[in-house]
Structure 1
Amino acid sequence: MNLFGYKFMPRFTQIAETANNRLVGFNNVSSYEKYILKPSKQVDKALIIKEWDNILRIVVSLALKQTTQSQVVRKLSSFKTNATLKALIALDQIMMSDYLLDYIDSQEMRSVVQASLCRGESYHQLSGTIAKVSGGKSLRGKNEIELDIAAESIRLIANAVIFYNATLLSYLYQFYLKAEPDKANKISRLSPIAWQHISFIGKYEFYNRRVSINIQEVIDYFMSDSEIDFLAVA
C-alpha cells in the first residue's frame, strides 16, 4: 500500500504490547537500551537493498494487474526460504514501525483513526441495509458482471444518501452558526451517514434527468416546521 501511495492506518487497542512486539530498528537492539520505546529486533536493511529490484518487479506486475496479491503470496511462500519474501516482510516491518511511532506520539492521529473506523462501520451498515431491501431481491446478481453492477448500485445509493444528509447538515450548521453557536457545534458532530428518515422501499431507476430535486425547497420545508428536533439523533 505504501508503494502505491496509500497508508495503512490500523487502530491498536494494546499499544504497549504492540510496540514491544512489532517495533524494529536499523541498529543492534542493545543500542536502544536508553530509550523508553525499544525495538524487539534489528531489521535486515541489506537484504531489502539486495532484493529491491525484485520487489519493484512485483509491484509493477500488481500495478499492471498481470498478477494478484494472492498469487504473489502463494508463489513466494512455496519455497522454504525465499530472500524476496524476507525482504518484503522486513520492508513491511519498517513501515509499520514508522507508523506505530507516529501513532503513539500523536493523539490527533489516534482520534482520526478511531473516527475513520466508526465512519467505515456506519457506511458498511448503510450499504448492508440497502442490499437487504425487499429481502435482498432488488440488488443482486447471478454472475460476476451482475454482482459488480449490484455493488456499484448500492454504492451509488449510499453516496446519494450521504450527499443529501451532508447538504442538509451543512445548511443547518451555517444557519445556526451566528444565531446559536452551541447548536451549530452539536450539528458539526452529527454524522451524514444516517438513514432512519429515508425509505428504501420502491423501484430504483438510474437515468439522467434535466430537472433535479430542489434541495433548497427541502431545507426550507424543514426549517418551517418548528417541531422538528434536528438534534434528536445527536
Structure 2
Amino acid sequence: MDIPFLRQPVDAQLDALTRELRAQLLAFNRELKRGKLTHLTYDKDAKTLIWHKPKGENQKVREQSFYEQLPYCDVADVFRFVNGQCHFLSALTPLQPRYAKKVANADSLMAVVIAQAMNHGNQVMARTSDIPYHVLETTYQQYLRQASLQAANDRISNAIAALPIFPHYSFDLDALYGAVDGQKFSIERPTVKARHSRKYFGRGKGVVAYTLLCNHVPLNGYLIGAHDFEAHHVFDIWYRNTSDVVPTAITGDMHSVNKANFAILHWFGPRFEPRFTNLEDQLQELYSADDPALYEKCLIRPVGQIDQQLIISEKPNIDQIVATLGLKEMTQGTLIRKLCTYTAPNPTRRAIFEFDKLIRSIYTLRYLRDPQLERNVHRSQNRVESYHQLRSTIAQVGGKKELTGRTDIGIEISNQCARLIANAIIYYNSAILSHLLTKCEASGNAKAVALITKISPAAWRHILLNGHYTFQSDKMIDLDALLAGLELG
C-alpha cells in the first residue's frame, strides 16, 4: 500500500512535525508583536485576538451579464451535446444477460435520468415528453443503478478535467482544492436512512446529500442520514473517489472537524484545511510539542503539551488502523464509532487524538499567519455552496426540494441522477468557456482571458429545465453558432 504514513519511521515524522510546529508558533508570536499580521489585532487589555476578515470580490453581476447573452437551450439538447462529447450514457449498462441485452436508446436514457433528477417521476415525464411510460419504466429498471450512474458521472468529471478551462479554475498552483459539504433534501416516503429534523424538514423526514467538489466538479457524492455527523465521512468521500481527479487539499465547514480527521487525512497524503469561524475556539485547541511554560512570554500561548511518547508506543496499533482504512475494509465512520466506545484511558484512541492535535495546531498557525490560505479555503467552500444552489434548482423543477424513491436505493439513484444532470450542465458551461478561452488566447486578448477564467460554470439561467421535453431529435448544439456575436465587455 502506497500510504505516506507507513513509509517513514514514526520518530522521523514526529521530529519533522514538531520542528515545524515550534517554528510556526514562534514565528506567529513574533509577527504578531511586530504588527506584521495586519489582518489580526491583539487586545492587550482583554488579552484576546481580533480577526479582520477581508471582503471577497463579488463576481455574480459579471457572471450574470455573461450568461444573459447566451441563447436559451433545452436541457435535453444540453444532455445530447455532453453525451456527444464524452459518451457518458454508454456507461449505463443493462442488467440483462450477455446475449439478451439490447443496445440502450440514448433518448430514453436521457428521459429517465431527467425524470428521476427533477422529481417528475416516470408518469409525469411520459405526459410531458415524447417517450412513452412503458419505455421509461423498462429503462429505469434495466439501466439505472448506483454503480452505472457513478461510472457515468466519472466520465463527465474526467472530461471536464481535460478541458482547457479546468486548470484556470484552480486558485493555488501548489494544491488542488476539494470541498466537502452536505445538503438537506426531504423525501416523500419514509425509508430506513431518512430521519426527522424539524429545522429542515418540518414534520417530514429527509436525508443529506454529501458531496466532494473540486474546481466546480462534483467528483463524488452519496446520501447519509440527517442524524449522521458529517465529519465521519470526510476521509471516505475522498478516498473512495473513483474519478481521475484527486484533490490534494480538502476544505470543509466546522461540521467536518472532529478529533481525528486532521490525523487520518495526514496519514494518507491530502491536507485537511477546514474553514474556521470562531478564532477564540481554535486558540483553545492550540498545543505545543514542548513544555507550555517555555512560551510564557508569548502573546498567544499553547493550552497543553502533545504526548509524543504515547504516539510512538502506539505506532503498531495505529499502523493496523491505517492499513484497514487503506484496504477499505472499514469506513471512517465505523472507525470513529468503535474508537468512541472505548473507555477514556484507551491508549490507541488517545494516541490518535494526540497526533491529531499536532497536525491541527500546525494548520491553525498557518491559517492565522497566511491570509491567502484563509481566502483559498473560503473560496473553495463558496464553490460547493454554488453547487448546492444548482442542485436545489434541479430538484425543485418538479415542485419540492426532495428526492424521489420508495427505498434507500431508489433515493440514492435519484441523488446520483441529479448529480449527473449538474455535471452535464457544468460540462456544457465549461465547454463554452473553453471555446472562448482558446479563441481569446489565440487572438492575444488578455482582458477577455482574465474575464473568462473568473466565470463560474455552475450556472443555469440560460438552460430551460422545465416545460415539454423533446428527446427524439437530431438537434446538436454548435458552439461556434451559439457564441457568434458574444461580447465579453
TM-score (norm 1): 0.78
- Separation of aligned partners in 2, 1:199 and 1:139: 20
Shift of 1:175: 3.9
SS in structure 1 of the partner of residue 321 of structure 2: helix
Q: Note closer, same or farther for the CA distance 1:18–1:174 as it changes in structure 2 (3 Å cut).
A: farther
8 Å contact 1:12–1:18 — kept in the other structure? no
8 Å contact 2:448–2:488 — kept in the other structure? no
Q: 1:27 is aligned with what amino acid?
A: D
- Separation of aligned partners in 2, 1:139 and 1:192: 24
SS in structure 2 of the partner of residue 67 of structure 1: coil
SS in structure 1 of the partner of residue 399 of structure 2: helix
- Separation of aligned partners in 2, 1:212 and 1:29: 70
Instruction: Tell me which residue corresponds to 1:189.
Output: 454
8 Å contact 2:285–2:361 — kept in the other structure? yes
SS in structure 2 of the partner of residue 116 of structure 1: helix
**1:39 pairs with 296, 302, 307, which one?**
302
SS in structure 1 of the partner of residue 394 of structure 2: helix
Gaps of 5+ in 2: 1-264
- Separation of aligned partners in 2, 1:142 and 1:162: 29
**1:96 pairs with 357, 360, 385, which one?**
360
Instruction: Tell me which residue corresponds to 2:406.
Output: 142
- Separation of aligned partners in 1, 2:403 and 2:480: 30
Shift of 1:64: 3.3
SS in structure 2 of the partner of residue 142 of structure 1: coil
- Separation of aligned partners in 2, 1:185 and 1:69: 41
- Separation of aligned partners in 1, 2:423 and 2:405: 21
- Separation of aligned partners in 1, 2:358 and 2:300: 15
- Separation of aligned partners in 2, 1:204 and 1:62: 47
Q: 1:45 is aligned with what amino acid?
A: Q
- Separation of aligned partners in 2, 1:29 and 1:182: 53
TM-score (norm 2): 0.40
Mapped pair 1:116 → 2:380: yes
Q: Note closer, same or farther for the CA distance 1:107–1:68 as it changes in structure 2 (3 Å cut).
A: same
- Separation of aligned partners in 2, 1:137 and 1:72: 33
Instruction: Tell me which residue corresponds to 1:223.
Output: 484
8 Å contact 1:139–1:154 — kept in the other structure? no
Q: Note closer, same or farther for the CA distance 1:188–1:74 as it changes in structure 2 (3 Å cut).
A: closer
8 Å contact 1:48–1:87 — kept in the other structure? yes
- Separation of aligned partners in 1, 2:449 and 2:345: 60
RMSD: 3.0
Q: 1:187 is aligned with what amino acid?
A: I
Shift of 1:114: 1.0
Q: Deviation string for 1:5-51 (max 9, x for gaps)?
A: 33221112344x24521221110001123445432210111111112
Instruction: Tell me which residue corresponds to 2:291.
Output: 28
Q: Note closer, same or farther for the CA distance 1:73–1:50 as it changes in structure 2 (3 Å cut).
A: same
Mapped pair 1:199 → 2:460: no
- Separation of aligned partners in 2, 1:183 and 1:129: 29
Highest RCO, 1 vs 2 (Cα 8 Å, sep ≥ 6): 2
Gaps of 5+ in 1: 206-210
Greater helix content? 1
8 Å contact 1:51–1:87 — kept in the other structure? yes
Q: Deviation string for 1:95-117 (max 9, x for gaps)?
A: 11121122223232222111101
Greater strand content? 2
- Separation of aligned partners in 1, 2:319 and 2:378: 33
Percent identity of equivalent pairs: 35
- Separation of aligned partners in 2, 1:204 and 1:106: 52
Instruction: Tell me which residue corresponds to 1:48.
Output: 311
